[in-house]
Amino acid sequence: MSMKQIDQAEDIKSMIGANREENKKKHRVRWIVISVILLMVVLGGIYGLGRKGSEKIDYVTQEVEKGDLTITVTASGTLKPTNQVDISSELSGTVRAVLVDYNDKVKSGQILAKLDSTALDAKVMQAKAALATAEAKLDEAEVTVEENTMSLNRLKQLRKLSDNRAMSENDIETAEANLARAKAQLAMANAQIIEAKASLRLTETDLKKTDIYSPIDGIVLSRALEIGQTVAASLQAPVLFTLAEDLKNMELHVDVDEADVGTVKEGQHAVFTVDAYAGKNFPAHISQVRYAAQTVGGVVTYETILTVDNSELFLRPGMTATADIVVKEAKDAILVPNAALRFSPDDGNDTAGMQGGLFRALMPRLSRRGQDHTKSKDKEKAKTRIWILKNEALVPVFIKIGETDGRMTEVLEGDVKPGMAVVTDTKTISK
């Protein structure tokens, strides 16, 4: 055998020896891991038995009820008058008098304030003078027409009596032209009369506007005038007064979330509260649900109008209110607490003492996989499953549920009766 072959044989033996040594190490590690796991299981069992001996799991129950279930939608908004009017001025001028103040009750046609009218008084006098001048010119034109008419008739009569020899045809034509000119002057005088009357009426209308009147019966919410202040009317008229027509009937404008607007309809009843009267509920009903959407901060809402009776005048414009709109009512329904629907022994509530503790703490991932598998299997059943106690053992009862108000849920189908105790939670009792 050559030296090269001897070296190859030696290398093969070395490799086989190394593999055997590596396999032995793997076996030792595997047995160590298995031993540790078995030790942990034993310790977990001892820990669970110790807890089971010192603690007891008890169940919290609540009775099934029979009664009325009211489903509401909550929305907030602001109180407003049914008709709010902003009073402005079409004229510019200096405020001469302010005749009303905040909270004053006013009647339609009542004067609220007066502007200085000195310049407009002079314009009215000027317009009246122009009208008188136009009327005088009209009288003059009428006389001129009458004079030219008489002159023409006289010439025609002389020509007739002289057998067309005393007056020429040219004289007759001149007289007719003078009469036509006089009639034109009369028409112009009539037009000047109309123009002067229109100018006078316009000036008198402006003069009346120096008195600012109330267009409605109501109450003064705000005023922005003081005596001596200058009012400057422009393309955007300044708001001088704000009037509310009738505070005995008001409106509550609330923003209903897009998730709830499908259940909110006209005619539904609601109650609302305001901070000024804590604990007092005010009735209202929906008069309008508007289609236009409002988006604020990415939240889509729809403005809804509620009619409010404010006969006692407790409520004031601008108050912030929170309304509960009744969208559905169930009479004499069988009701179970929502806590009973959320309870499930698969969450570990009934086996916490037996399988709890130390093992799960030491091996959280291993135990969690088993629990997640159990939860996924019973997830659908837990939606319509409640638990009752028979001989101190948990028994499931499957039901079909309806509406909920967040605390109680309506039972549509299922073997449950009023007074039946259903499990809602667990509690630990130390021995």
pLDDT of residue 18: 52
DSSP assigned state of 351: S
pLDDT of residue 377: 44
Q: What class has domain 117-209?
A: mainly alpha
Cβ(189)–Cβ(138) below 8 Å: yes
Q: Is the pTM of this model over 0.75?
A: no
Q: First and final CA of the chain: distance in angstroms?
A: 84
- What does the longest C-alpha to C-alpha distance in the chain come to? 182
Cβ(386)–Cβ(397) below 8 Å: yes
pLDDT of residue 30: 76
Owner of token pair 């039946």: 420
Owner of token pair 């009775």: 63
> What's the burial of 6, exposed, middle or buried (CB within 10 Å: 0-12/13-18/19+)?
exposed
pLDDT of residue 364: 43
pLDDT of residue 261: 94
Residues in the chain: 431
Token couple for 31: 């047995």
Alpha-carbon distance 332 to 335, whole Å?
9
Alpha-carbon distance 121 to 211, whole Å?
13
Q: Where are the domains of the chain?
A: 117-209
> CA–CA distance from 415 to each of 396, 399, 420 (Å)?
11, 7, 10
> CA–CA distance from 416 to each of 141, 390, 422 (Å)?
106, 14, 9
Alpha-carbon distance 52 to 395, whole Å?
22
Cβ(69)–Cβ(407) below 8 Å: no
Q: If you write DSSP's letter for every residue of 39-92 in order, what string do you get?
A: HHHHHHHHHHHHHHHHEEEEEEEEE-EEEEEEEEEEEEEEEEESSEEEEE-SS-
Alpha-carbon distance 214 to 105, whole Å?
10
Q: What is the pLDDT along the chain (431 residues), one digit of tens a residue?
A: 555 555 555 555 555 555 566 666 667 777 787 877 887 777 766 655 555 555 677 888 889 999 989 899 999 999 999 999 999 998 999 999 999 999 999 999 999 999 999 999 999 999 999 999 999 999 999 999 998 898 888 878 887 777 766 667 787 788 889 889 999 999 999 999 999 999 999 999 999 999 999 999 999 999 998 999 999 887 677 899 999 988 999 999 999 999 999 999 999 999 999 999 988 999 999 999 999 999 988 999 999 999 999 999 999 999 999 999 999 888 889 999 999 888 888 654 444 333 444 444 444 443 444 444 444 444 444 467 899 888 888 889 999 998 888 889 999 888 888 999 989 988 877 65
Q: Report the Cα 68 to chain-centroid distance in Å.
A: 29
